[in-house]
Structure 1
Amino acid sequence: MSLNPLRRQLVRTSTAAAALVTLCALGAVAVPVASAQDWPARPVRIMVGASAGGGTDVIARLFAEKLSESTRQSFVVENRPGASNTIAADLTAKAPADGHTLLVATNTGQAIAPHLLKLAYDPLASLEPIGLIVVVPNVLLVNPAVPASDVRNLVALMKASPGGFRYASSGVGSTQHLAGEAFDLAAGTRATHVPYKGSSQAHVDLIGGQVQMMFDTTSSSMPHIKSGKLRALAVMSPQRSPELPDVPTLAEAGLPGVEMTTWYGMFATGGTPPAVLAKLRAEFERAMALPEVAARLRSLGGEPGTLDVEGFAAFNRAEFERFGKLIRDAGVKVEK
């Protein structure tokens, strides 16, 4: 007795499906996976853990522009400020691992906050290093109304008014916060810490006189320094900044050993396929090699990164361990 047409069709379909499963198991048929050819298949999000207008935001938008040009796909910056840059990092760590969510991070979120906050992700395992963008010095800023022409004058004023000087930061556990703690220890002063959700918000109050000082990055504060809205008393790097040649280092100003720099790097979601990471890193390196990108990064007072991906990964881990020790030694804790 022969099969009717419908039953014959069902048999053929079942047989073909079984054959396809067998071929896939043998590797004879390619199964769609994320690949270098697919990336970027749709707009890419670049997460930023600080508010618009700050140093991280400026750098992220620079790379969004250049990556959009080279890949002919949209790269969109999303600002998710707060929790010492870790909100953006958390979203990146938990995004689909396909290269369509990136993070421009700083050592605040990568190396400092993990030792102060309880995080729902592992900053070393859940985020894949792409490349080091730039290292910039922190700079001691004051409102122009503060009657201090140099660091020694400022220290004298602060000692005459313990707790009376308020310094802003982009959040508890940020490099700005730790710089202020280190400054107080070295100078024998006691300033009041006022945390904000990013440098741009802190600048408003610093310019307005609600706070008197800040230990911000040059990448964020340079426009205000050059416009005269804020006055730079010292940079916290070992050498003077080429963009601020007349501003002394803190060591030159009488406080040796107090150094603080902020680095910016790009990361992808942990577990992103190697083929996608390879193309992503190639596009990142292409952008870094552009003369206009290097010039822009230097105009922010920074030194463009030169580490390869292995070097950056090692640097990221070393910074995590270094700041962890500093935080434990200094007894820095999150205020509750």
Structure 2
Amino acid sequence: MVPVLQRFVAAVFATSVLAAAPALAQNWPARPIKLVVPYATGGPADVYGRFIAQRLGDQLGQPIVVDNRPGAGAVIGTDAVAKSAPDGYTLLLMSNTHTVNETLLPNKPYNLTRDFVGVAPINYSDLVLAAHPSVPASNVQQLVKLAKEQPGKLNYASSGNGTPYHMAGELFKSMSGTSIVHVPYKGSSGARTDLLGGQVQLMFDAVTTMTEQIKAGKVKAIATTGKKRSAVLPDVPTVDESGVAGYEATIWLGVLAPKGTPAAIVNRLNEAIGKIASQPDVQASWGQQGATAMVMSPAAFDKYMQDDIAKWAKVIQSANIKAD
């Protein structure tokens, strides 16, 4: 009788939740909303998260409180949101670190598909493949030729295993058929310092971070990593147009909500975030920072995430990448 009773209670609870959802959505938001940022204060993700929080709060008529919960490769803050009530009052700022982690960290306590629903993307930022001046290659074709002639002789730095910079490098190797040694660092600053000093030869880095060094001639810009040329480095071709067809590796941000959040709330959030990202002043400001606005429906964003998970799963498995 106990299992029967348990099923009955569960059914009653589920029915009550479904019945309450329309009223919840109709009265939402009636209090402040929390945006969990699973990264440290002051980083690019935090800066964009706070920007969205301010603008979104103005649109919704309730403050959006940013709650930084960094740690364990974004797992700590993400897990907290996964366990939150699906009522629209707790949201997650996510990046493509999350889609990489789906394969890289198989034992984490949550699953993006199972525990979250996509609300809206925010923007993406290109990277640039930079080389020390001593590298005898100035474009992708020359670099690929050099790497194939001397397999395992070239190396590239990154801020650590599983980071977007590392994944950009592994995707490049996979799609170009080259063997280039990965040199992981504990953070981008050490990797960047050694690239400038010639201790390492190549690095995928943020466009805006590396632009000053490129203009000063301290490093060479081989290519950028987006679908189209970067507004910050318009004279530098993309990897895709340089012969590695289909290559794309960016850092992108979005907003998720716990699975079960009423569709009316998700749609309202999506519309509001899309409106912010579509404003000319926002797009101009982000463009100067090397970021491009993204606008999608919740369903399209969910598919975008699924495609990204599959993309990086293939790279991780083929390169046998392990978490630090």
Same fold by TM-score greater than 0.5: yes
How far off is 1:180 after superposition?
A: 1.3
How far off is 1:124 after superposition?
A: 0.9
Match of 1:14 in 2: none
Match of 2:310 in 1: 321
Distance (Å, rounded) in 2 between the aligned partners of 1:98 and 1:34:
7
* 1:206 aligned onto 2:184: no
Match of 1:304 in 2: 293
Secondary structure of 1:265's match? strand
* 1:80 aligned onto 2:70: yes
How far off is 1:43 after superposition?
A: 4.9
How far off is 1:32 after superposition?
A: 12
Distance (Å, rounded) in 1 between the aligned partners of 2:136 and 2:206:
20
Match of 2:7 in 1: none
Q: Give TM-score scaled by structure 1 length.
A: 0.72
Match of 2:252 in 1: 263
CA 1:150–1:86 in 2, change beyond 3 Å: closer, same or farther? Answer: farther
Q: How does 1:55-66 map to 2 (within 5 A)?
A: 55-66=44-55
| Contact 1:67–1:75 (8 Å) recurs in 2 | no
What are the Cα deviations for residues 151-186 of structure 1, in whole angstroms up to 9, with x where unaligned? 4369759977946735113x4333322221233443
Match of 2:11 in 1: none
In structure 1, stretches of 5+ residues that fail to align are 1-24
Match of 1:125 in 2: 114
Distance (Å, rounded) in 1 between the aligned partners of 2:78 and 2:42:
19
Match of 1:249 in 2: 238
Secondary structure of 2:63's match? coil
Match of 1:5 in 2: none
How far off is 1:129 after superposition?
A: 0.8
Distance (Å, rounded) in 2 between the aligned partners of 1:45 and 1:273:
17
| Contact 2:33–2:62 (8 Å) recurs in 1 | no
Distance (Å, rounded) in 2 between the aligned partners of 1:284 and 1:257:
28
Q: How does 1:223-234 map to 2 (within 5 A)?
A: 223-226=209-212, 231=219, 232-234=221-223
Match of 2:102 in 1: 114
* 1:286 aligned onto 2:275: yes
| Contact 2:157–2:191 (8 Å) recurs in 1 | no
Distance (Å, rounded) in 2 between the aligned partners of 1:163 and 1:82:
33
What are the Cα deviations for residues 203-260 of structure 1, in whole angstroms up to 9, with x where unaligned? 3541365765432344xxx144246587433112343223211112225556555432
CA 1:291–1:150 in 2, change beyond 3 Å: closer, same or farther? Answer: same
Q: How does 1:142-161 map to 2 (within 5 A)?
A: 142=131, 150-151=138-139, 152=142, 156=146
CA 1:116–1:183 in 2, change beyond 3 Å: closer, same or farther? Answer: same
Higher-Rg member (1/2): 1
CA 1:32–1:319 in 2, change beyond 3 Å: closer, same or farther? Answer: closer
How far off is 1:63 after superposition?
A: 0.6
Q: How does 1:136-215 map to 2 (within 5 A)?
A: 136-142=125-131, 150-151=138-139, 152=142, 156=146, 162=152, 165-169=155-159, 171-185=160-174, 186=176, 188-196=178-186, 201-203=187-189, 205-207=191-193, 209=197, 213-215=202-204
What are the Cα deviations for residues 14-48 of structure 1, in whole angstroms up to 9, with x where unaligned? xxxxxxxxxxx99xxx9997445342513523323
| Contact 1:135–1:304 (8 Å) recurs in 2 | yes
CA 1:40–1:296 in 2, change beyond 3 Å: closer, same or farther? Answer: farther
How far off is 1:297 after superposition?
A: 2.9
The one-letter amino acid of 1:178's match is M
Distance (Å, rounded) in 2 between the aligned partners of 1:160 and 1:286:
50
Distance (Å, rounded) in 1 between the aligned partners of 2:21 and 2:281:
41
Q: How many residues align?
A: 297
The one-letter amino acid of 1:225's match is T
Distance (Å, rounded) in 2 between the aligned partners of 1:43 and 1:326:
36
Moved more, 261-270 or 51-60: 51-60
Distance (Å, rounded) in 2 between the aligned partners of 1:166 and 1:243:
23
| Contact 1:142–1:206 (8 Å) recurs in 2 | no
Match of 1:101 in 2: 90
CA 1:333–1:59 in 2, change beyond 3 Å: closer, same or farther? Answer: same
Q: Give TM-score scaled by structure 2 length.
A: 0.74
The runs of at least 4 aligned residues of structure 1 exceeding 6 Å deviation read: 30-33, 157-161
Distance (Å, rounded) in 2 between the aligned partners of 1:31 and 1:59:
30
